[in-house]
Amino acid sequence: MKNFKRLLIGQKGFEIAVQSFKLVETFPKEEKFGLSSQITRASVSIPSNIAEGSSRTSEKEYNRFVEISLGSSFELETQLLIAETVKYGDEKVRLKMLQSVSDEQKMLVSFMTKLNK
């Protein structure tokens, strides 16, 4: 079992999840159960799957959970781009999140490469 709290991908994923809650606070109230919910669910899925994967005994299983985290990051990126297009949320927070998500995607791909060796 690996300590997911010490992994940079876990720390970055956690930061993204926290940022997502701050972002959706600035969305219109009628969006509470729409895009807001999708954004927070996808963002929470990133560090959650990293944590769950770290409990697996095989690298193959661990890699699968990291892969799911990567998928959630692309889902979140799409939702943030939709929010940008419809002008939802604080622009600074949204742009910071998009950069954080891009960084996390690169880190996840690199981590998956190491797991597959």
pLDDT in tens, 22-56: 999 999 988 878 999 999 999 999 999 999 998 88
Rounded Cα distance between 25 and 93, Å, is 11
Position 84, amino acid: E
Task: Say which residue, 5 or 52, is predicted with more confidence.
Answer: 52
- DSSP per-residue codes, the chain: ---GGGSHHHHHHHHHHHHHHHHHTTS-GGGTTTHHHHHHHHHHHHHHHHHHHHT-SSHHHHHHHHHHHHHHHHHHHHHHHHHHHTT-S-HHHHHHHHHHHHHHHHHHHHHHHHHT-
The two tokens of residue 73 are 């990051």
pLDDT at residue 1, as a whole number: 52
pLDDT digits (tens, 9 = 90+) for 61-109: 999 999 999 999 999 999 999 999 999 999 999 999 999 999 999 999 9
Q: Could you tell me the CATH number of the domain that includes residue 24?
A: 1.20.1440.60
Rounded Cα distance between 77 and 89, Å, is 14
Note down the domain range covering 49: 4-115
Going by C-alpha positions, the residue among 110, 106, 44 that lies closest to residue 76 is 44
Structural domain count, the chain:
1
